[in-house]
Structure formats: structure tokens, C-alpha cells
Amino acid sequence: MGVEALQDQGPAHPQWGRLLAAGMLGMLLGMGWLLGGFGLWGPFLSMGLVVVVAAGREATERFLAAWGYYAMGCWPIIGAVTGYWGPGHLEAGVAAWAACSAALAGPWGWASGPVGLLLALAATALPPLGVIGWLSPLNAAGVLFPGLGWMGLGSLVLLAIAMQVLVRGLVGGDGDKDRDKCGDGKRRWFPALAAVLGLAVVAMAANGEAYRDERVGTAVKLPKGWVGVQTHVVPSRDSVLGTIQNNQALIKAARTQGRGARVVVLPEAVLGDWLPGTRQEFATAVPPGQIWLVGVQTGRADAVVLVSHGRATVRPATRAAGLLLGGATGSLGYKTRCSLPGGSGSS
């Protein structure tokens, strides 16, 4: 082996080092969703995905950074699948985890410039990928710019673009053939830095205002009298006895956990077909003056039905599994999808 051959193999080691570092940094950011619990660390650290992806000089590097982030953040999918379908479906859980991680990381490989970044943000937040895109950096809008609504979302997108341009200017641009279409990053890092600092000031002001509103009691609160029910049921798999046992367990959980509540929310797709016997059973179980929102399956679609004392609606309030916010009369005020890979077991 000649000296020339050894020289050709030399650059491979730094390249592998960069790939490993990108994946590890992505994993560290994804851990924010696991270690942060119900706090705000996950959404806050999700903006770091933009930084580590922007630092990638090649598509492979950017993909591995995003894959590390999603692989770590999506890890609970395995437990969700095995918890719902049973321990015998571990392979299905691992397959779902691997597929979700790879699918969500894919668009970030082409995020070499602002256009690619916008496409990656949109692809991982909107259907079809958006159905499983609960780790999107767009979640950080509510953390960095609380209370600003669409202006907050727009500010977050501008912040992401400015961060990308700044990082790519500092690391020296793109190593791909399809270089950043916005020009030489080295000449643009100062305006990008100014934009990042300006938006940071806006974020601090928005958080200060939100903190003040919370202190004086004007912050937006959850609907009063609403309770979500935690359940532990497994699919009946067309077993009549299993269906009866599940119905009884759900009714018991709803009556126990929903005691004193005005509206009780059960998980999505927690019941099979909404048959007359099931409707009568639940209508009889609901206490007077209380409303239950129950996730059922109507044919092949998920739906949410309203059940009150002595009355269960035949027609679903919505065909999409989701969260309903409305008045005591059952009027629908707000609807949004709530996705849970592998089924649902709690709300």
C-alpha cells in the first residue's frame, strides 16, 4: 500500500467523527422530551435540532443529526405499542419506532438552506408525517413566544431561519453539490446574528408578559370542571367477554376519576363499535348533570361521541379522533387531532 493510498484514507476518520458527533448531539437534544417529563424542556431544546442540522455539511450528516433527535424522542413508541397490544408485539413496537424516526428525519437531510428548512418544518408538522410529528421544533413557539398566537409561530420560523444562516456562516457553508442557494454565509452571519438577538428580546418580553399574566391571574386556564380519565385496558379482539370487561372497567374509571367533574374525557378509540347496547350501558352509567366524551370507532374511522345521563348520541361529534372543547350543552368550540402511535390507553 503506497503513501498515496494512505493519504486517501486519512480524511475518512474526521468524516466519521463528524457523523458520530451529529448523531450524538441529536440524541442529547431528543433526551429533553424524555427527561423533561411534562415540562417545557422538550419543546425548548427542539430548536437545537435546527442548529445541529445547520452545522451539517452534507446531507448524511444532517440526516444523522435529525435521526438521533427523533430516535431518542420517539423511544416511548415501543412502550406504547407493547402496552396497548401486549408484550408479544415488541417487534412491532421496534418497527414502528424505527419507521417513525427515519421518516421524520428524512426531510432534514435536504435542509441545506432556508427553503429546505421551511420544507422540513412543514413536512414534519403537517399530514401525513405531521400525524406523528409531535417532536417538531414548531412546538417551541409556545415556549419562546407564549401568548402571541400566529405572530409567535411566525417569529419562531424567522428565528429558525436566522439561526440556520448564522450557523452555516460560522461553519463555512455546505459541502454538498447543491450549495446554499442564499449565497455565501460568511457575508450574512452578522444580519443573522442581529435577527437572532432581536427575536431573543421579543421572546424575553413575551415570557415576561406571560409570567405577569400568570401572577395576576389573567393567563389562559384549562376548562374548569374537565377531567381526563387514565385507563388500563387491552383490545378485546372481538371477544364478547373482553368487550364487556372493558366497558365495565371504563365506566368504573370514569365514575371514580370523574367524581364532581362537569365533563369527563375518555381516551380516543377506547371502545369498539358504538352499538345500541353499549350506548345504553354508558348512558345509564353517566351521573346526572355530567357529560362524557368517549373515543369510539365507527367503521374504520375514529370518532368522539357525547354521552349524558340517559342519553348517548348515535352520531359522532367528530369523525377525527381528537380533543373537544365546548360548552355544557355539547356545542363544539374547538377540535384538534391527538395522535398516539400504536393505539391509545390513556387521556
**pLDDT (tens digit, 9 = 90+) per residue, 260-303?**
899 998 887 777 778 888 889 999 999 999 999 888 877 666 77
Task: Compute CA distances 12 → 8, 20, 42, whole Å.
Answer: 8, 12, 34
Which pTM value belongs to this model? 0.65
Alpha-carbon distance of 219 to 206, in angstroms, equals 13
Question: What CATH code is assigned to 226-337?
Answer: 3.60.110.10
* Mean model confidence pLDDT for the chain: 80
Alpha-carbon distance of 4 to 12, in angstroms, equals 14
Q: Per-block average pLDDT, block size 10, for the chain (347 residues)?
A: 42 72 93 81 93 93 96 90 83 93 95 94 90 88 91 96 91 52 56 92 90 60 81 74 85 91 84 83 93 80 84 72 41 39 39
Phi, psi torsion values for 274, nearest 5 degrees = -85, 75
Q: What is the per-residue pLDDT for 36? A: 73
Domain ranges for the chain:
12-216, 226-337
